[in-house]
Structure 1
Amino acid sequence: MIPAAFAKATIDREGAVGEAWLAELPAIADDVLARWDCIPAGETMHGQVGIVIPVQDERVVKISFPHPGNDYEADAFAAWDGRGAVKLHERDDARYALLLEQAHPTTLMEHNEDVVVIAADLHRRLRIPAPDGLPRMSEQADTWAEELHRDATELDHPLPAAAIDAALAVVDELGRDQPEILIHGDFHPRNILRADREPWLAVDPKGYVGDPAYDATTFLRTRAAHQLGADDLIKLLNHELELFAEAAELDPERIRRWAHLNMVQSAFWGRRHGFGRARSGSQLDRFIALCDELALSWND
């Protein structure tokens, strides 16, 4: 039931805690399957932090490694109630287990036509008044500012002081007072799946309360990495930013300012930790250089 690649990745990332959770995972799966009267109907799949078990009646059981990033996933699904996202049928918060509407494994990342418009339209539909009890993005503003000051001082980087000051201004002017809107929190093409009830549905939300324009920058950052070899990538991404803003009914300048902060943070993060797709070597250098270039472009 537990894919070997998922088990290895979990242990590599979480160590002994991950190994202990994997030992309990078959019993957790058996329990929730029995309690929700679910009969497995296909091979177990997995993402980075959880397994997905297809069951009868076009549903899936998802069980995630217990960590704060998944604390509010069920709350987001419940609030949307199928509006632009897969529908939640059952939840077991203590086990980080969900019974969800089934979608197809094809992601928007694998789609070639109207990708930006499809994502932007879905993003617009997911914006609803936030329910009570969800974490506010604004609560991270002090941490963002502290990390920017520290990284700008400690790391070797080519970003001018004006770019750092502009990122800090975004934190102060946009980050500390954000709308009471439910946002996905990890909105990128791999978290948008083909479906039957609607052409595309969102999965794997973090469930934050904050500025939808901030949420849009995650999509643009992923697009940047995916199109790294494209001719005149900066021009292409600026066009996609404008296109996303129009289709999502957002202010493009607000997205651009959030994107500048996001790229400065990403440039520093890459220098300290690497990225999931590139931990070292020439590929990491290319990603960091792209973050630097985008940070400067979106600061103009």
Structure 2
Amino acid sequence: MIVVPEEFARSTIDREGEAGVAWLVQLPLLVDELLGRWQCAPDGEVMHGGVGVIVPVRRRSGESAVVKVSFPHPGNVHEPDAFVAWGGRGAVRLHERDDERFAMLLERARSTTLAEVEDGDEVAAVAGRLNRRLAVPAPPGLPRLSTRAGAWEAGLREDADRLSHAMPRRVLDAAVDTVRVLGREQPDVLVHGDLHARNILRAEREPWLAVDPKGYAGDPAYDGGTLLKSRALALVGADDLRGAAGRVLDVFAEAAELDRERVRRWAQFHAVQAAFWGRRHGFRVARDGPRLDSLTEFAERLAGVLTEGL
């Protein structure tokens, strides 16, 4: 049976409590059952993301693949639906699925992510091209991003009132306006929903393939903000934040063949949300202390820069 990585077990228990403990106890047996049913043999060290384990395997045919098992969560429900709709177009292929157990047998990509590429223009261009290829008609049954607009607006207003922050009113108003203008009426297009650089992997079949989609129907420009958030640490030391952020959005929008202003507005909304998230929960790279304060202040500054237009 597999050995669950300690870091993954610890973070799952911290996040999910007793439900996480119970799931982790059953996880090795669950993976064994899936390997038997899908006729796979372990073929490497167990890896993990934020909410699931990834087990490298060999199929009976000799083809390499991975078994991914995620902690049951509403945000993971439509991941296999997105893979089916893409059929390997810009994303890893789905071979098998067990929706009840939140498990999939997927094409194996490399462990190298787009986040490891030093050339910022290449990162934005690759993400933009994938965004364009993934923008196919949304299959029935996917959650619509437009249905989240009311909660987005309410959340922004609540955070603005309750949290200590340094964002001027015009910055908050711009984010709310984006929700009202772009958020409530969106196209019926499949959106990855979390297209940041760590969710784009080197591969054999294509140079880069997307993984870990949320699977929404909505505006492809939404993921321009997701990408910019993933580039934030690379922009922290920029002498000209306006120019650096503008360059990311320019390259992404051109490669994705999207309206640049639409991408900017979604990016500004994401930046405001990120600033509030940092105030409430911290960030993955900093949960507290001076580092968190610095990153939160940077998110607020980035939101301000994006509000003025680029």
Matches of 1:152 and 1:52 in 2, distance apart?
38
Letter in 2 for 1:176: R
Q: Does 1:167 align with 2:169?
A: no
Helix, strand or coil for the counterpart of 1:298? helix
Letter in 2 for 1:256: R
Moved more, 109-118 or 223-232: 223-232
Give 1:37's aligned residue: 39
Give 2:26's aligned residue: 24
Helix, strand or coil for the counterpart of 2:88? coil
Deviations 1:204-238 (A, max 9, x none): 00001111111111001110124322332332111
Q: Does 1:75 align with 2:81?
A: yes
Listed as ranges, the matches of 1:49-198 within 5 Å are: 49-56=51-58, 57-113=63-119, 114-198=122-206
Matches of 1:96 and 1:66 in 2, distance apart?
6
Helix, strand or coil for the counterpart of 1:98? strand
Letter in 1 for 2:42: P
Are 2:225 and 2:271, in contact at CA under 8 Å, matched by a contact in 1? no
Give 2:270's aligned residue: 262
**Structure 2 runs not aligned, ≥5 long:** none
Give 1:204's aligned residue: 212
Matches of 2:162 and 2:13 in 1, distance apart?
31
> CA 1:19/1:226 → structure 2, altered by over 3 Å: closer, same or farther?
farther
Count of matched residue positions in the alignment of Structure 1 and Structure 2: 300
Helix, strand or coil for the counterpart of 1:91? strand
Deviations 1:59-113 (A, max 9, x none): 1111111111111000000100000000000000001110000000000011224
Are 2:242 and 2:306, in contact at CA under 8 Å, matched by a contact in 1? no
Are 2:135 and 2:191, in contact at CA under 8 Å, matched by a contact in 1? yes
Letter in 2 for 1:7: A
Matches of 2:244 and 2:183 in 1, distance apart?
27
Give 1:242's aligned residue: 250
Matches of 1:68 and 1:25 in 2, distance apart?
19
Match of 2:16 among 10, 14, 17: 14
Matches of 1:116 and 1:259 in 2, distance apart?
13
Matches of 1:162 and 1:202 in 2, distance apart?
35
User: Aligned-pair distance for 1:46?
Assistant: 1.1
Give 1:282's aligned residue: 290
Letter in 1 for 2:97: R
Matches of 1:262 and 1:157 in 2, distance apart?
16
User: Aligned-pair distance for 1:269?
Assistant: 1.5
Letter in 2 for 1:9: S
Matches of 2:235 and 2:161 in 1, distance apart?
31
